Amino acid sequence: MTQAEGKKVVVVGAGWAGLGATYHLAKQGYAVTLLEAGPQPGGLVAGWKTAGGRSVEAGIHGFWYPYRNIFALVDELHLQPFTPYTHSSQYSPAGLEVESPLFQAMPYLPSPLGTFLYTRFKRLPLVDRLSALPLLYAVIDFDNSDAAWRRYDKVTARELFKQFGVSARLYKESFEPMLLVGLFAPGEQCSAAAALGMLYYFILAHQPDFDVRWCRGTVGEQIFRPWVEQIEQLGGRVLANQRVSDVEVSDNRVTAVRCGDERFETDAVIFSVGITGMKKIVAGSPTLRSRPEFRNLSNLGAVDVLATRLWCDRKIDIPLPSNACFGFHQTTGWTFFDLNALHDDYRSEPGSVIEVDYYHANQLIPLDDEQIVPLVQANLAGCIPAFGEAKIIDHSVIRLPQAVSHFAPGSYQYLLPSATSFSNLFMSGDWIITRHGSWSQEKAYVTGLEAANRVIGQLGPGQPAKILPVIPDEPHIQAARAVNRAVRSAVEGVLPGFWLP
């Protein structure tokens, strides 16, 4: 038995963050128990089979070029879950609007030139595209530091784009659709800091960053199942249907985690639960409620998402496998995917199998399946008319109320960092503050590793997880940021802090 094997760690929530923390701690010889409220691991990325044996999942998930840590993980696990990188397109009710090339296949240009020059806009006039240029100052100024978050977080993304002179058309047809798909909310409900961070990470930092690939089946089947098997082989325990309700504390240390009457004693705990789940735990826990940082989570929110899958009676010609759509609903974005092209399971299916996911789907969630399916079909037909002729022979509708993190204006001050005021309670997940710079699944996984490293730092022994940093800024961006920082600090040294940030 290694020294670490005697040390118990409880991880709460089996999404990317919780599994990442559990896996690393199990590798280091800790006695890790992962408690998951749902029937299977995976969190927002969970997948399962319907009664009829068909694979479904809580929304399809893309893996973007900069997801270096997730790609390193699947290599370590000897998995090959991904499709090649795919092209994507964008539709509006007027038809095809944008086609993205494979950016990594194009001659490399300094960022963000490649993004601007290689993206094929079908309708958007050049003058509108050029109106984005002044925004580059904000992109340089927002360097993901705490100060930058505080400077931009209280402004809405819409206000930011307006202030920097982005044209109404460019905002409506390009930036807002990106916000709806990337941050799950319309611009007036997104923090400008989150918008800048997300756009830089996924699109602007390096030419190939917008290239994306998908799992060849559900992420649950392709990645999480073998990953959990590996964790169990290492001695970690992954327990489903265990809803954590409270913690026991002595001398400012968590000594046990409770699931109703059941107790799990521990030397450290990592919460890897989404915002809504965490708020529920805090509401039911006198111990957590007694601390302002946890009480303040009531100021955070989450967004409704709807994931649908349609089986058609015929094959429909769909030019590209992944597609984003705008202009069909006031404040809801949506995407559709040709699963015959992406998933091995559906490759030889006689009819098209289409995943259609709606983000910020508040007004759609209360509808019955019988109302949702025709709406989805009509939206698809608005992009590719042949969908209107097809018969829908089966469907799956998964409602995800209050599911994804909402980076609302003013929310940064209430987000939690990895370390908390309890000496051995650590946080992880896609809404936890990190200076890493990644987003979504990659961020969740990275914060899981960061929390595991804090446990190791405190309980020792064990090697900290190696976390790959985001690909460094290109030299001209580094230089521009250095100049901007120098000017900022010179000005701040002279002028009083008189203006609102």
Ligand X SMILES: Cc1cc2nc3c(=O)[nH]c(=O)nc-3n(C[C@H](O)[C@H](O)[C@H](O)COP(=O)(O)OP(=O)(O)OC[C@H]3O[C@@H](n4cnc5c(N)ncnc54)[C@H](O)[C@@H]3O)c2cc1C
Q: Nearest approach, Cβ of 29 to ligand X (angstroms)?
A: 23
Strands 88-92 and 322-325: parallel
- The number of beta carbons lying within 10 Å of the beta carbon of residue 50 is 12
**226: exposed, middle or buried (Cβ count in 10 Å: 0-12, 13-18, 19+):** middle
Q: Nearest approach, Cβ of 55 to ligand X (angstroms)?
A: 15
First to last CA, the chain: 54
The candidate with the shortest Cα–Cα distance to 380, out of 316, 456, 463, 439, is 316
Q: HEC string of 193-235?
A: HHHHHHHHHHHHCCHHHHCEEEECCCHHHHHHHHHHHHHHHCC
Q: Which is nearer to ligand X, 364 or 400 (CB)?
A: 400
Q: Which is nearer to ligand X, 18 or 177 (CB)?
A: 18
Q: Which is nearer to ligand X, 138 or 305 (CB)?
A: 305
Q: Nearest approach, Cβ of 135 to ligand X (angstroms)?
A: 24
Q: Which is nearer to ligand X, 166 or 432 (CB)?
A: 432
Q: Which residues bind ligand X (CB under 6 A)?
A: 12-18, 35-38, 43-45, 58-59, 61-62, 243-244, 272-274, 277, 281, 305, 307, 357, 400, 403-404, 429-430, 440-441, 444
Q: Which is nearer to ligand X, 75 or 492 (CB)?
A: 75
Q: Nearest approach, Cβ of 249 to ligand X (angstroms)?
A: 17
Q: Which is nearer to ligand X, 192 or 400 (CB)?
A: 400
Q: Nearest approach, Cβ of 57 to ligand X (angstroms)?
A: 9
Return d(Cα 223, Cα 146) in angstroms, integer. Answer: 33
Q: Nearest approach, Cβ of 12 to ligand X (angstroms)?
A: 5
Sign of CA dihedral 431, 437, 443, 446: negative
Which helix (H) or strand (E) segment holds residue 392: the answer is: strand 392-406
Return d(Cα 440, Cα 449) in angstroms, integer. Answer: 14
| Residues contacting residue 427 through CB under 8 Å, at least 6 positions apart | 270, 271, 272, 416, 417, 418, 419, 420, 447, 451
Return d(Cα 58, Cα 96) in angstroms, integer. Answer: 27
Q: Nearest approach, Cβ of 441 to ligand X (angstroms)?
A: 3
Q: Which is nearer to ligand X, 50 or 163 (CB)?
A: 50
